[in-house]
Amino acid sequence: MGDITFSRLSLLFITGYNDEGEPVMKAKHFNNIIPQADSEKLFQTALALASLQKHDLDIVERSNTYELGN
């Protein structure tokens, strides 16, 4: 696989529930994450950020973009 050219951290929070009882989600995105950042450290950072929010954290995602060729 090629080099990571872009990395993004996303935190998804449950902000409430709709009439059918399904969760209503809101996402917070952090772009321009250092591509070489350790995933475990990013997860710990996400938990620290989530502790400052009033809504419950449901999902933490990391998205990487790779350069496959020139």
The string of pLDDT tens digits covering residues 15-27 is 999 999 999 999 9
The CA distance from 16 to 64, in Å, is 29
For residue 35, pLDDT over 70 is answered with: yes
| Consecutive H or E run containing 43 | helix 39-50
Is the pLDDT reported for residue 1 higher than 70? no
pTM given for the model:
0.85
Mean pLDDT, to the nearest integer, of 24-38? 95
Per-residue pLDDT at 70: 67
